[in-house]
Amino acid sequence: MVGYAVCAVVWVAQRTIQWAAERRAQTSLEAGNRKGAMGVVAATTMGRVWLVALSILAVGKLAERDDGLAAAVLTLVLVTVYFAGFGLAKLLEPERSSTPTAQAPARPEVAS
């Protein structure tokens, strides 16, 4: 049970970090700072991976090995479901144009 509890707390924590990072990256993009936005996303992604991995390792070392295995299996299931849901949401989302569509100028008609 310790593995499940730690995994659940860490999963919620890393998703909160992701949410905050996405908001900060969006703010940076709106300010025209693409490098800053990419830096935030990259740093928090690596930090979240380390947070989850080290928590699984800590549970396995500090509690019983079976608790560490339970945390690892639950994390694997959560990641799989998250990516499947994310991919499905992107597939079902209507396409958005990144640039506004401009109408082509009207051609003058040629009299024949």
More confident residue, 96 or 13: 13
Which of 2, 22, 1, 9 is closest to 78 using CA atoms?
9
Residue 99 has which token pair? Answer: 């640039």
**pLDDT more than 90, % of the chain:** 28
pLDDT in tens, 36-82: 899 999 999 899 989 988 998 889 888 888 888 888 888 889 889 98
- Confidence at residue 42, expressed as pLDDT on a 0 to 100 scale: 92
Q: Is the pTM of this model over 0.85?
A: no
Domain boundaries, the chain: 2-80
CA-atom Rg of the chain in angstroms: 23
